Amino acid sequence: MIRVATWNINGVKARIDTALEWLRQDGPEIVCLQEIKSVDEGFPREPFEAIGYNVATHGQKGFNGVAILSKLPLEDVTPRLPGDDDDVQARFIEGIVSVRGGILRVVSLYLPNGNPIGTEKFSYKLAWMKRFNAHAAARLALEEPLVLAGDYNVIPEPWDCHDPKVWAGDALFQPESRAAFRELAALGYTDALRACTDAAGVYSFWDYQAGAWQKNHGIRIDHLMLSPQAADRLTGCEVVKHVRAWEKPSDHVPVVVTLDLEAA
């Protein structure tokens, strides 16, 4: 069994103790981090390497930034989403992990927030999603197990948030954003969590303000989308909710998928 996590850590240096505590307790083989808020040379590699992880980063000073941590060999690491050489924002990293009997391709992505609507930020979000979907479509031709893990900044359905009316004017819940997310499913990708449960009230983010965590006023925006070859090996998916209650938490929690990569 291989477990792959996605986690918007909201600043790796600010959350290093929380991250290491969780990884020591229950560390998945592969962890995709978003919003590391660190340049590559400033990323605290040594503590993660000390507990058995290989580290690959695509960083940016002060904001954005993604990383892949892997207890297994990590190769062919590619930063930057193809399709726009002028895009300097660090939001995408892809690598290949060697597993028994083959490989697992993994992407860590941090999709643009897009707020406020009606500005170039929302246009950038939609353009980025179009590029990402094109890349995801091209990767299907490889017929490999692939996990597209990250903070998508998209609330897919009304039951993925506490109160849809609150989010009606937000870029995360716009018809265009949700339609672009659905295109991944139309291509053949599976939402790992929704393949395991259709329950409402399952969230991965709670704002720091207005007691959102205590009231469970959350949203589900952190997703693991699986290629058909990965979905065929899906055995479970869970939201690691309890770390949100730890000291100095991220406003996101890890979401973890389990794959039986030795299955037929």
Reply yes or no on whether 208 is catalytic.
no
Q: 98: closest CA among 73, 69, 68, 71? A: 73
The answer to the question of whether 252 is labelled as a binding residue is: yes
Burial code of 214-230, b = ≥16 C-beta within 10 A, e = fewer? eeebbbbbbbbbbbebb
Catalytic-residue membership of 189: no
User: Number of helices and strands (H, E) in the chain?
Assistant: 7, 12
DSSP 253: -
The reply to whether 8 sits in an annotated binding site is yes
Q: How far apart are CA 175 and CA 23, in angstroms?
A: 36
The token pair at 73 is 């060999």
Enclosing H/E stretch for 54? strand 54-58
User: By the 8 A CB rule, do 139 and 146 touch?
Assistant: yes
Annotation marks residue 151 as catalytic: yes
Report the alpha-carbon distance of residue 236 to residue 234 in Å, rounded: 6
Question: One of 58, 162, 223, 252 is an active-site residue; which one?
Answer: 252
Greatest Cα-to-Cα distance within the chain, rounded to the nearest angstrom? 49
110, 152, 189, 203: which is the annotated catalytic residue?
110
153 is in an annotated binding site: yes
151 annotated as a binding-site residue = yes
The annotation status of 251 as a binding-site residue, yes or no, is yes
Q: Which residues contact 141 (CB under 8 A, 6 or more apart)?
A: none
**Residue of 53, 151, 203, 222 marked catalytic:** 151
Contact 181, 264 (CB under 8 A): no
Catalytic residues: 110, 151, 252
Where is the binding site for Mg(2+), in residues? 8, 35, 151, 153, 251-252
Where is the binding site, in residues? 8, 35, 151, 153, 251-252
